[in-house]
Amino acid sequence: MIEYVSQSAPALAPLFRSQQQFRILAELFGSSDELSVGELARRAHVAQATASREVARLASHGLVITRSLGRNTLVTANWRLPWAKELRSILVQTVGILGRLGEALSGVSGVEEAFVFGSWAARYLGEPGPAPRDVDVLVVGQVTLRSVRQACSDVERELRVDVNPIVVDRRRWSEADPEPFVAEVKSRPLVPIALEGR
């Protein structure tokens, strides 16, 4: 629980108050769904109490719209803001990349796991440094690099970001004494990409 309390501004986009706020806004502005606070917390990977506090704060400033339905609070992005599209663009091109990559890679047969690594992962996990120029993606499974590149091409076009995929099979990824490249990737920040239905 403590990890949810004092996370600082995200290094990917330090203009946001906290990592939790960043993820919550990304979930809301990344789609047009109206979500319960509980579902929003689950999708944003934050505690429900944190989501409730952030939603109240964001609603008081007009960034989100809330309504009550029974005992639930439902929340959606405020698309009437004059700069809502620009905010969505910032969010989608930063934290929203994970969701888009997850959607794209979920449709590729043979993908078992996927991760973002390198400078993008480091910034996402709060390590300070220059803004990443691209996104390094590692895919584990029995899949061709060509099919992974093809799946990532839509994400590249939509988000205007270069995606550099690498594929390793399960044996190479799971070895007790991995090859130098795999050992290096595992020793640095690594952000899992949620794959639909897995």
- Walk me through the domains of the chain, giving residue ranges and CATH numbers: 2-93 (1.10.10.10), 96-192 (3.30.460.10)
Work out the pLDDT band at 6, boundaries 50, 70, 90.
very low
Phi, psi (degrees; rounded to nearest 5) at 185: -60, -45
pLDDT at 94: 66
pLDDT per residue over 94-153, tens digit each? 667 888 898 899 999 999 999 999 998 998 787 888 888 899 999 999 999 999 999 999
Percent helix, strand, coil in the chain, to 5, is 45, 20, 35
**How far apart (Å, rounded) are the C-alpha atoms in residues 79 and 190?**
33
**How far apart (Å, rounded) are the C-alpha atoms in residues 172 and 151?**
23
Q: What is the pTM of this model?
A: 0.64
Category of 95 on φ-ψ map: left (φ > 0), alpha (ψ -120 to 50) or beta:
alpha
**How far apart (Å, rounded) are the C-alpha atoms in residues 75 and 65?**
6
Q: At residue 14, what is the residue type?
A: P
